[in-house]
Structure 1
Amino acid sequence: MTFDLQTLLAILAMAAATILTRVSGLFLLRYVSLDGSRRKAIESIPPAVLMAVVAPTAFATGIAESAACAVTALAALRLPMLVAVATGVVCVALLRAIGFG
């Protein structure tokens, strides 16, 4: 494995952008009042991001992955995000273990 300075700088820049985005969101949220519709809009962001990450997998892979994506999407409607993702991981692992993957 070789050391590539440009790759390292790109990774560090992406990490800084991620951290600044998260920290600025927490900082700015102190100064914004969240009524019902704003709160609902903000709470819908994590499931939307999850589906944006999961959807390409559902269409580009096998039956086990597609089924696990559907299970994850359904779980995300009612369960906390971490539980929904864990449910999808367990589902794909079980489906692969029984021969669907």
Structure 2
Amino acid sequence: MSDFLHADTLILIALAAVATYLTRIGGYVLMTRMKSIPPRMEAGLNAVPVAVLTTLVAPAFFEGGYEVKVSMMAALLVCLRFPGLTMLAVGWAIVIAIRHSSLF
């Protein structure tokens, strides 16, 4: 039997799915039973997008090469003036240009 179909692996996948489901549904149930959201909880919920973005961007910035750092800084400047899709296109284009440039 392959490693993927091993009983322990399947049990682990099932338990992870149940834990993920309970976490998601638990937050929904908790929020629907509250009459109002306390200010501290609202502040915490407002911080979630920044925390998620940081966990996605920081490892790439610190472990990537100079082309990643340059493209991220350029994308940061672009996102201050233009929409997100433009920012992604500029960052992508800069990484590709630097990686395929004969100058570096």
* TM-score grouping bracket, smaller chain normalisation: 0.5 to 0.7
Greater relative contact order (Cα < 8 A, sep 6+): 1
The answer for unaligned runs of 5 or more in structure 2 is none
The answer for unaligned runs of 5 or more in structure 1 is 78-82
Cα deviation code 1:51-95 (max 9, x no counterpart): 1232112111113333455546x95x9xxxxx85x6665344212
Quote the RMSD (CA, aligned, Å).
3.3
Identity among equivalent positions (%) equals 25
For 2:89, the equivalent position in structure 1 comes to 90
The structure with more radius of gyration: 2
Q: Secondary structure at the match of 1:98?
A: helix
Residue 11 (structure 1) shift:
3.0
Q: Which among 33, 37, 41 is matched to residue 38 of structure 1? A: 41
Cα deviation code 1:17-69 (max 9, x no counterpart): 22221111011111232144431221111221221232112111113333455
Report the residue type matching 1:16 in the other structure.
V
Q: TM-score, normalised by structure 2?
A: 0.60
Question: Number of paired residues?
Answer: 92
Q: Secondary structure at the match of 1:30?
A: helix
Q: TM-score, normalised by structure 1?
A: 0.61
